[in-house]
Structure 1
Amino acid sequence: MNITIISVGKLKEKYLKHAIDEYSKRLSRYCKLNIVELQDEQTPDNASEKDELIIKDKEGNKILNSIKDNMYVITLDLKGKMISSEELSKFIDNCGVRGNSNLCFIIGGSLGLSEAVLKRSNYSLCFSKMTFPHQLFRVMLLEQIYRAFRISNGEPYHK
């Protein structure tokens, strides 16, 4: 299984980098992990709705250019489906069974995802109705993917 995480915005905090490194190391026995960081566009404090749409489209184009044709794209979006850790485990297993062994999770920037990215998505997932910093969310996503593999393999971790 190949898992790519495309995330808008650079990781700055060392403690988050350490967490990502730890989960990347743990995941290496279950999948080939590739994390793609894309430069976010600067959003002025007084940005209009039109300005925000332009920024989302620019970030969206960067995301779309990073997606390969053979990838099964999973967007992280507030309008996505909320599922449990067990359901995520089954979902990842089922993707592999159906021949989708190249999963690509997309984490948008502070303004969210462009319509073009949402249209390219094969599945939309929502972790919570709450808002999280995208840098922290990357750690949360990696932890849930790791948990999903542990559940799938019947290994102790999930409680």
Structure 2
Amino acid sequence: MKINIVCVGKVKEKFFTGAIDEYSKRLSRYCNLKIIELPDEKTPDNASDTVNDLIKRKEGERILSNIKDDSYVIALAIEGKMLDSVELSKKIDELGISGKSDISFVIGGSLGLSSEVLARADYKLSFSKMTFPHQLMRVILLEQIYRSYRIMKNEPYHK
């Protein structure tokens, strides 16, 4: 299976890049992982809703241009469905069984995802009602995908 992480913004902190590299390495035995890092738009302080929407649309266009037509898209969105680790594992497993061999997880920028990206999503997933920095969310997502594969393979993993 091919797993794509399409994300807006760069990861600058070494502790985040170290964790991302570690989970990417661990995942390499289970799937073909590709992280697609897209530039974010500068958001001015006290920007109007119109400016914020324009920024989200520009980032959304970049996101959509990096998603293949046949990819199953899972958008990370606060309003999405919350799953526990076992449910996420089942979701990924069921997608593979049903013939979906390309899954794209999408992490938006600081303003979230555009309505166009949310409309393209086949599934909306929420990790919490809280907002997380995109760098940390990337680590959390990779850890949960890794945990999902461990669960699928009945391999031990800490709880």
Corresponding position of 1:155: 155
SS at match of 2:105: strand
TM (norm. structure 2) is: 0.99
- 1:47-69 CA-to-partner distances (Å, cap 9, x unmatched) read 00000000000000000000011
Give 2:23's aligned amino acid. Y
What RMSD over aligned residues (CA atoms) do the two structures have, in Å? Answer: 0.5
Change (3 A) 1:106 1:64: same
The CA deviation string for residues 33-86 of structure 1, in whole angstroms up to 9 with x for no partner, is 000000000000020000000000000000000001110000000010000000
1:111 aligns with 111
Runs (4 or more) in structure 1 with deviation over 3 Å come to none
Q: Say if 2:126 is the partner of 1:126.
A: yes
Distance (Å, rounded) in 1 between the aligned partners of 2:83 and 2:21? 25
C-alpha displacement of 1:158 = 4.1
**Partner SS for 1:46:** coil
Superposed counterparts of 1:9-158, under 5 Å: 9-158=9-158
User: Normalized against structure 1, the TM-score is what?
Assistant: 0.99
- 3-state DSSP of counterpart to 2:74: strand
* Partner secondary structure for residue 130 of structure 2: coil
CA distances 1:7-54 after superposition (whole Å, capped 9, x unpaired): 000111011000000000000000000000000000000200000000
Q: Distance in 2 between matches of 1:143 and 1:79?
A: 21
Spell out, residue by residue over 1:69-118, the C-alpha distance to the aligned partner (whole angstroms, 9 max, x if none).
11000000001000000000000000001111100000000000000000
Q: Does the aligned pair in 2 maintain the 1:76–1:106 contact within 8 Å?
A: yes
Count of residue pairs the alignment pairs up: 159
SS in 2 for 1:45: coil
Q: Are 1:74 and 1:106, in contact at CA under 8 Å, matched by a contact in 2?
A: yes
Query: Partner of 1:131: helix, strand, or coil?
Result: coil
For residues 99 and 158 of structure 1, do their structure 2 counterparts lie closer, same or farther at Cα, with a shift above 3 Å needed? farther
Deviation of the 1:143 alpha carbon: 0.1
Sequence identity percentage = 64
Structure 2 residue runs of 5 or longer lacking an equivalent are: none
